[in-house]
Amino acid sequence: MAEPESTVINTNVKQKDPSKALVIAVTTRAIFNLEKEHKLYLEKGKEEYTRHQQANQDKPLPPGTAFAFIQAVQYVNKKMLESNPAENDLFDILVLSNNSPESGARIINSAKHYGVSAALIFQQEVQAPSTPLRVVFDGDAVLFSDETDQIFQEHGLEGAVRYEQAMEAVPMGEGPLKTFAMHLGKMRRKFSQEKSPIRTYLVTARSGRDMGIRAIKTLREWGLAIDEAFFMDGAPKGPILAQIQPHIFFDDGLHNIQGAQNVGVPSAWVPSCY
């Protein structure tokens, strides 16, 4: 929506240490389902949209695509603080909204209804289901660099396999989400595997037989523990994602993003470097 951007700060929320916290920005349209309201805005304009929001300000908006993700993140914070009340390695969720103050009351009331703060920052006291945060990463061009993808584009599958076999002992380069995954790993190591509130997965198009060894060695070199790894050998990822039911899935392939959406899995596209 092309409204002027505005923010509401809850001054009762203690800011987490920005040098330690893992900050995630989420829009209100991701947390709440505002598709009907957005359509009204596009068809009838800002004034009608504002009137609608004001008239329905006490009617909670339904949860959106990222709602379960936010709940799971808050559950991680809760378990981290139960383990260590002085913990600094926490998630800090920033909620971004372009609603004007007069139309933003419904979003604030919706947040209150679901037990989250009516602010840019979600409080750690939010009532979240006791379910681990499940995050799925693709491999090449996401966790790892796109070096092998580039070989595949230029020389096909056989060329990529030969390259991987020749480079088996050399760790792959870092992908755009390696730092994020490492931070999750750091948080995860504070718990035993059985009690961890975080579960991470690798779901890659690579063949486990021909191209899996280097991926595993790279993760080992990084010290990044992954709960489960699936080497799909080019098969669709949707059925596996449907079984895992992650809170978020990261992939650089739009066809895989579409496959995830087809089975109801929230996903994020990581643009390729080439």
Q: Tell me the three state secondary structure of residue 114.
A: coil
DSSP string, 41-80: HHHH-HHHHHHHHHHTTTSPPPB-TTHHHHHHHHHHHHHH
First to last CA, the chain: 31
Catalytic option among 92, 138, 146, 149: 138
Phi-psi region of 196 (alpha: psi -120 to 50; beta: other; left: phi over 0): beta
**Is residue 138 annotated as a catalytic residue, yes or no?**
yes
Gap between the Cα atoms of 50 and 102, Å rounded: 7
Task: For residue 134, give the nearest of 270, 226, 48, 218 by alpha carbon.
Answer: 226
3-state helix, strand, coil in the chain (%, to 5): 40, 15, 45
Task: For residue 117, give the nearest of 86, 84, 66, 74 by alpha carbon.
Answer: 74
Residues with a catalytic annotation lie at 138
